[in-house]
Structure 1
Amino acid sequence: MFIVFYLLILTSCSRYFAQGQINYERESRDSCVIARTNENGVCKILSNCPSEQANLKNKLFPTVCGFNGNEIMVCCATELPNRKTREPGEIADEMCRNYSQYVWTEELSPLSIINPAPIKRYDCPFDKLPLILGGTESDRKEFPHMVQLGFDEEPGITWGCGGTLISNQHVLTAAHCIEHKTLGFVKFARMGFIKVDDARHRQEFKIIERITHPQYEPPAHYHDIAIVKLDQKPDLNLYVRPACIYTKRKAPGTRAIVTGWGKIQDGGDESKVLLKTILEYYDRDYCSKVFKRQSSLKEGIRDDIMICAGFRNETRDACQGDSGGPLQVYTLQKGDHMACMYDIIGVTSFGIGCGIATEIPGVYTRVSNYVKWIEDIVWPQ
């Protein structure tokens, strides 16, 4: 397989030969800029740059520096040392506190005409909206971390997966959302809206980097998690802001919320408004019995990397188009720095149809198992 990628690189390099842009025998200490992301890097032999090898598998071609003998040299992102030795989850919790500042807004006091002092206001729809059982429409600003991912299709974009904004430039999603079997690789992201035809606060972006978990090997469902990077940083506000990464092993409470613009019923049309529903956790033994005949689960349901959730008394479930979206709970720690935030505990992965029976749960990738992997990509410093 690597030979095929090598040939693809050689083909892409032909343009540089024609333009005289290839410098032979450049050394790995030479600095460079990755054209795709505008990040600084150093020239390395492709086989010594795991990040660009991974991008190449997703058909994101590297910036070519030249050749070292017969080996291609590419611009490889500079690996920056950690500022200190840290425990997994430490930086995720720190960034959660940082992003919670966008729950507050500043307004000028109407009572002061000369040099009016700004008034900070706490704007949290969670405090105003009760949790309603069953699939219901979300309120504006209720899930500001929700992202919709799109694929290229003439004459427009097909929006086919969900995701979660987890930093000022990264979206967490499912690995199986990275490439569609007929539409190709995911290329677009949009956020800041509830209704798909309401563009008032909508922000749209191109995807410049796609990173699937290295242990994801389809058609198996294990390690179904990925991160995409946006071409620009969103304007963070009450309508768009990152969610928190849940870092503890055991999911909190007994229920969680799933959201998405997916199909309203199996084989039906996608929802035109963001829907939410509350699900209950299922234990591993029951979930294993439900999915015991799945050929894509040779190890069965793995409790360390999966969460089963559904509802026993009603047909509630995620559906097609919800893949990659979050399974979430309200952040338990309250106070000025952590209020009105969500903890992402799972990524919507797979099920048997959707909403076809009351006793069939869906399966979600357990985010807490991947905290270090997420942090190393999103916050490498």
Structure 2
Amino acid sequence: MLHAFCLILFFANFNCYLAKQWLSEGDSCVVNKTNENGICKFLSNCPSEQAKLKLNIHPTLCGFKGNNNMPIICCPEARPVIQTRQLGDIADEMCRNYSQYVFTEELSPLSIINAASIKIYQCPFEKLPLILGGNASERYEFPHMVQLGFGDKSRIKWACGGSLISEQHILTAGHCVNPENLGLVQYARMGFINVDDTENKQQFNIIERTVHPQYQAPSPYNDIAVLKLEKKPKLSLFLRPACLYNKREVPGHNAIVTGWGRQSEHGPESKVLLKTVLQYYNQSYCNSIFQRTITLRSEGIKEEQMICAGYESETRDACQGDSGGPLQIYSTREGYYMACMYDIIGVTSFGIGCGRSTKIPGVYARVSNYVKWIEDIVWPQ
């Protein structure tokens, strides 16, 4: 007999609903959040929802069957096999999966033995206007931020940044993989804002390094790389992947750059993650600054590969130690649970010093130009 309250689930903490009428096995259904059409099935007969459950993404409940009240879930209809996928399809789907980590689970307030837990939306920050300027980041604000380490494990040099983009992969700059005088990147730590915070910090060895095949130092073209961690970190509000922005044109006029780098060209590195809102510069102006430099020579700024961003009224900029870190915007994807996610639009690449002039922007690798290359490495299946 159905109760007014949600029935108890014996083997998983599914979402709980007050049901007016349960569906039966074989009935048509609609998957919550994605609005996909589906068929009501036992979980054991739905491999796609089994895989999502391992990511703590709970299926849509259809009803129950038998004396043991075995749950029946909404299994999405199989998608037709497409030989050529659309750019960013895989990254977008995974981004939506990772957004589930903005939810936390709490015990049901109902006084029922073994009552299912309740998922609560816990976005720890609000979308603030992208007003030019910079200051310290708030706790939880950039949960995808990663710091990269070099050298011997007994005295690691933390000298580059990166972004967690999957359960086991980091996006960074090509020149951060094997920088001069530091050697091969070996370590990654994440889950914190202040480097002295040990409560939620997680540190891992790096086991794979994939630099873009057309990157050739010291040239800054195609300055992008993907790193693989030895094992998967524990994802939570403190630590979860960001999304990859896959469109050529970037919305708005401003973006956020973050890092633990130097606060001035010859100053000390920051112990606290800093954020700065920058504005985009057009290609012609950027070329007038950088085309004369040795590394660019006659090729200049390639707009399809690069984004220029700086701060017009003050000398704010990415600096030494920020290389490889993200240039990001608030997610543009639909769905209220996506409001707590970021789209990575650029990877910090190079500049002329840092903060020398209000008229000299920094240059960032344009992520949308490399999305398929990234997908093939991170999600090859």
TM-score range for the pair, normalised by the shorter chain length: 0.7 to 0.9
- The one-letter code of the counterpart of 2:341 is M
- 1:97-246 → structure 2 map (5 Å cutoff): 97-112=96-111, 114-127=113-126, 133-153=132-152, 155-246=154-245
Q: CA offset at residue 129 of structure 1? A: 5.8
Tell me if structure 1 keeps the 8 A contact 2:130–2:255. no
CA distance in 2, matches of 1:131, 1:272: 24
CA distance in 1, matches of 2:128, 2:196: 23
Q: CA offset at residue 339 of structure 1? A: 2.5
Q: CA offset at residue 130 of structure 1? A: 6.1
Q: CA offset at residue 183 of structure 1? A: 1.9
Partner of 2:324: 324
CA distance in 2, matches of 1:226, 1:128: 29
Tell me if structure 2 keeps the 8 A contact 1:98–1:337. no
Partner of 2:257: 258
Q: Return closer, same or farther for 1:375/1:163 CA change in 2, 3 Å cut-off.
A: same
Partner of 1:24: none
Q: Tell me, what secondary structure is at the counterpart of 1:171? A: strand
- 1:9-20 → structure 2 map (5 Å cutoff): none
Q: Return closer, same or farther for 1:130/1:123 CA change in 2, 3 Å cut-off.
A: farther
CA distance in 2, matches of 1:244, 1:100: 9
CA distance in 2, matches of 1:123, 1:138: 18
Q: CA offset at residue 337 of structure 1? A: 4.7
Q: CA offset at residue 155 of structure 1? A: 4.4
Tell me if structure 1 keeps the 8 A contact 2:125–2:340. yes
Tell me if structure 1 keeps the 8 A contact 2:105–2:120. yes
Partner of 2:62: none
Q: CA offset at residue 120 of structure 1? A: 1.6
Deviates more, 1:278-287 or 1:108-117: 108-117
Tell me if structure 2 keeps the 8 A contact 1:153–1:183. no
Partner of 2:363: 363
CA offsets per residue over residues 216-267 of structure 1, 9 Å max, x none?
A: 0111110000011000011111111100000001112110000000001001
Q: Return closer, same or farther for 1:239/1:331 CA change in 2, 3 Å cut-off.
A: same
Q: CA offset at residue 276 of structure 1? A: 0.3
Q: CA offset at residue 132 of structure 1? A: 5.6
Q: CA offset at residue 110 of structure 1? A: 3.9
Tell me if structure 2 keeps the 8 A contact 1:152–1:187. yes
Q: Return closer, same or farther for 1:347/1:99 CA change in 2, 3 Å cut-off.
A: same
CA distance in 2, matches of 1:373, 1:339: 26
Tell me if structure 2 keeps the 8 A contact 1:188–1:206. yes
Deviates more, 1:293-302 or 1:112-121: 112-121
Q: CA offset at residue 128 of structure 1? A: 7.2
- The one-letter code of the counterpart of 2:312 is R
Q: Tell me, what secondary structure is at the counterpart of 1:277? A: strand
- The one-letter code of the counterpart of 1:205 is F
CA offsets per residue over residues 188-243 of structure 1, 9 Å max, x none?
A: 00000000000111110000011100000111110000011000011111111100
Task: In structure 2, list runs of 5 or more residues that go unmatched.
Answer: 1-80
CA distance in 1, matches of 2:116, 2:130: 36
- The one-letter code of the counterpart of 2:313 is N
Partner of 1:303: 303
Partner of 2:20: none
Partner of 1:351: 351
Q: CA offset at residue 181 of structure 1? A: 1.4
Partner of 1:50: none
- The one-letter code of the counterpart of 2:123 is C
Tell me if structure 2 keeps the 8 A contact 1:307–1:365. yes
Q: Indicate yes or no: 2:333 matched with 1:338.
A: no
Q: CA offset at residue 84 of structure 1? A: 4.5
Identity of aligned residues (%): 67
Q: CA offset at residue 133 of structure 1? A: 3.8
CA distance in 1, matches of 2:233, 2:260: 21
- The one-letter code of the counterpart of 1:329 is I
Q: CA offset at residue 83 of structure 1? A: 7.5
Q: CA offset at residue 144 of structure 1? A: 0.6
Q: Return closer, same or farther for 1:284/1:130 CA change in 2, 3 Å cut-off.
A: closer
Tell me if structure 1 keeps the 8 A contact 2:276–2:316. yes
Task: In structure 1, list runs of 5 or more residues that go unmatched.
Answer: 1-81
Partner of 2:95: 96
CA distance in 2, matches of 1:146, 1:253: 23
Tell me if structure 1 keeps the 8 A contact 2:125–2:140. no
Q: Return closer, same or farther for 1:294/1:99 CA change in 2, 3 Å cut-off.
A: same
CA offsets per residue over residues 133-174 of structure 1, 9 Å max, x none?
A: 422111111101000000014741000000000011110000
CA distance in 2, matches of 1:338, 1:186: 32
Partner of 2:38: none
CA distance in 2, matches of 1:210, 1:156: 21
Q: CA offset at residue 314 of structure 1? A: 1.2
TM-score by length of 2: 0.76
- The one-letter code of the counterpart of 1:123 is Q
Tell me if structure 1 keeps the 8 A contact 2:127–2:339. no
CA RMSD after TM alignment: 1.6
